[in-house]
Amino acid sequence: MHLSLSIRARLFASLLAVALISAAGLSWYFLSQMESLGLRTLEERLSSEALVASAFVAERGLGAPASLQSALAEANPALPSRLRILDGAGVAVADSAGEAGIGIDYSERAEVQEALAGGYGAFTRSDEDGTFAMYIAHPVRSGGQIIGASYTSAPTLSVTLLLREYQQQLAWALGLFLLATLLLAELLSRWLTRPLRYLEKGTAAFAAGDFGVRVQPVGARETRAVAEAFNSMADHVERVVGELKNEERRKSRFVSDVSHELRTPLTAIRGAAETLLDGDVAPHDADRFLSTIVSESDRLARLANDLLALQRIEGATGELPLRRLDLAEVARRAAEALEPLLDERGATVEVSGEAPAVLGDPDRIQQVVANLIDNATRVAEHTTVRVEVSAEGDRVALSVLDEGPGIPEADLGRLFDRFYRTQASRDRSSGGSGLGLAIVKAIVTAHAGEIEAANRPEGGARFTMRLPALKE
């Protein structure tokens, strides 16, 4: 079974393990150094005692063991160690511990053999009682010959001995250390993982649907980086979700608007057709009903064409066929294309101004200008429409000014919505689908531009399109 632990639990265990291992290693290191220091100090002292004893025996000789034993017995209270005098065979002839040690054969010990051979012997071994002791042997020379050895020993410091003698105190110390380590590890793990807990709460709330939640970047650099990345992701997701919701509302409103726009012509067509099917209709009434069917059918066709055009513009995924354009020249071509319609309405178009070139789709930009000019000639009879081109910083502005009554303030914010008509244009005999300005805005937006409408102080309305100027 896979055991899943939290980061805090893993961090707590890691800190505890590091603390215990470090404490154990350091303790063993310092105890070992203490043991080594004690051994070196003891060896120096025992070696000095053995040298003094060798000099003493060399002066007196081994011929009077009783006097040697008497001298060692007198010196015993002052000696913290045990001193033996060995003959040439390695047998004790005098012992500071008492006569019981006389006659003991030490010839099998390596340090004694080393001393009897003329060298210096040192060895550390465990005694019968389990304690550790150091043994030092120095040769005794007389007349150039080795006649024996001085042999000293004393208990030494041992880590094992310390642990054995102070096990109760060590147990208490270890318990207190463990308690302090546990407390410190718990506090450190809580402090180090606190930013992660904040992040966990934030992500949980985000997963539950609260896209407005953010976390405060605190803690270590890596934790702050994760928090900032989460906040950036949350901003992006919140923006995308908002756009999706808005798009869903737009689609719902679009379907409702299309249904509403289709209902009126279809109702008119159905009513006229049913009347004709009933028969007994006067010829002039039959012509009127047939005209209604034809005109409403044309309206449906225009509505379908405008919807397809809007869908192609807004749903286009490829790049536009951009060309270098002079907006003043585009306006003149649009006016020339509308010349028959302008003559019919008794309207004229004046184009003025100059500005840097822009990048755009010639056909689409001309469609925008033509639509704005067409709308401007509808609001007043025998009117003059002015088209002004100018530079505005890094943008090029094209304004269409009419001489109509202006736009009600309540309608200014919704002019470019689909199917929206001002109160003055509600009369459907104009033949408009209510999509003209929506198509205009979609084209301008596709060119990274913007369009706005405003009333002029002297009367009439101004529609202004702004596109990025082409850098030379």
Residues 47-89 pLDDT 10s: 888 888 888 888 888 877 788 888 877 766 666 788 888 998 9
For residue 105, give the nearest of 84, 125, 130, 120 by alpha carbon: 84
Name the pLDDT band for 349 (thresholds 50, 70, 90).
very high
How far apart (Å, rounded) are the C-alpha atoms in residues 466 and 398? 6
- State how far the Cα of 353 lies from the Cα of 284, in Å rounded to an integer: 53
Helix, strand, or coil (residue 347): coil
Q: How far is CA 39 from CA 21, 121, 335, 348, 356, in A?
A: 27, 15, 112, 118, 96
Share of the chain above pLDDT 70, in %: 82
pLDDT category at 427 given cuts 50, 70, 90 is: very low
The answer to whether the CB of 334 falls within 8 A of the CB of 440 is no
Which comes out higher in pLDDT, residue 431 or 449?
Answer: 449
For residue 164, the model assigns a pLDDT of: 60
Q: Where in the chain is the domain with CATH 3.30.565.10?
A: 317-468
> Is the distance from CB of 140 to CB of 149 less than 8 angstroms?
yes
Question: Which range in 184-188, 348-352, 427-431 is most confidently predicted, on average pLDDT?
Answer: 348-352
Q: Cα(67)–Cα(61) distance, rounded to whole angstroms?
A: 10
Of the candidate CATH numbers 3.40.50.720, 3.10.20.600, 3.30.565.10, 3.30.300.160, the domain formed by 317-468 belongs to 3.30.565.10
State the Cα–Cα distance between residues 112 and 380, nearest whole angstrom. 134
pLDDT value of position 2? 46
- Find the range with the poorest average confidence among 191-205, 256-270, 454-468: 256-270
What value does the mean pLDDT take over residues 10-32?
Answer: 73
Q: Cα(358)–Cα(251) distance, rounded to whole angstroms?
A: 32
Find the mean pLDDT for residues 406-418: 83
Note the pLDDT of residue 149: 93
Q: For residue 78, how far is the Cα from the chain centroid?
A: 75
**Confidence band for 129, pLDDT divided at 50, 70 and 90:** low
- What digits encode the pLDDT tens for the residues 301-331? 776 776 776 667 666 555 667 889 999 999 9
Q: What share of the chain is helix, strand, coil (3-state, %, to 5)?
A: 60, 15, 25
Say if residue 432's pLDDT is above 60.
no
Q: State the sign of the Cα–Cα–Cα–Cα dihedral 190, 193, 194, 200.
A: negative
Whole-number pLDDT of residue 128: 61
β-pair type (348-352, 384-392): parallel
The stretch 211-227 carries a mean pLDDT of: 77
In Å, what is the CA distance from 45 to each residue of 32, 35, 73, 132? 20, 15, 19, 16
Residue 160 has pLDDT above 70, yes or no: no
pLDDT on residue 426: 45
For the segment 379-399, what is each residue's pLDDT rounded down to a tens digit? 887 889 999 999 999 999 999
Count helices and strands (H / E) in the chain. Answer: 12, 12
Residue 177 sits at the vertex; the CA angle it makes with 174 and 179, to the nearest 5 degrees, is 110
Residue ranges, comma separated, of all CATH 3.30.450.20 domains in the chain are: 37-165
Higher pLDDT, 426 or 238: 238
Strand partners, 325: 358
Q: How far is CA 368 from the centre of its chain?
A: 46
The per-residue pLDDT for 1 is 41
Task: Please report the pLDDT score of residue 454 as a whole number.
Answer: 93
Contact 419, 257 (CB under 8 A): yes
What is the sign, positive or negative, of the torsion defined by CA atoms of 273, 275, 279, 280? Answer: negative
Length of the chain: 472
Q: Which residue has the higher pLDDT, 289 or 377?
A: 377
Give the C-alpha separation, 391 to 422, whole Å: 31
Mean residue pLDDT of the chain comes to 80
Cα 435 → chain centroid: 46
Q: What is the DSSP string of 372-397?
A: HHHHHHHSSTT-EEEEEEEEETTEEE
The class level of CATH for 37-165 reads alpha beta
Alpha-carbon span 460 to 472, nearest angstrom: 36
Q: Which residue has the higher pLDDT, 142 or 455?
A: 455
**pLDDT at res. 78:** 60
Mean pLDDT of 241-245: 84
Distance in angstroms (rounded) separating the CA atoms of residues 40 and 143: 32
Tell me, what amino acid is at 15? L
pLDDT tens for residues 79-109? 678 888 899 899 998 888 888 888 899 999 9
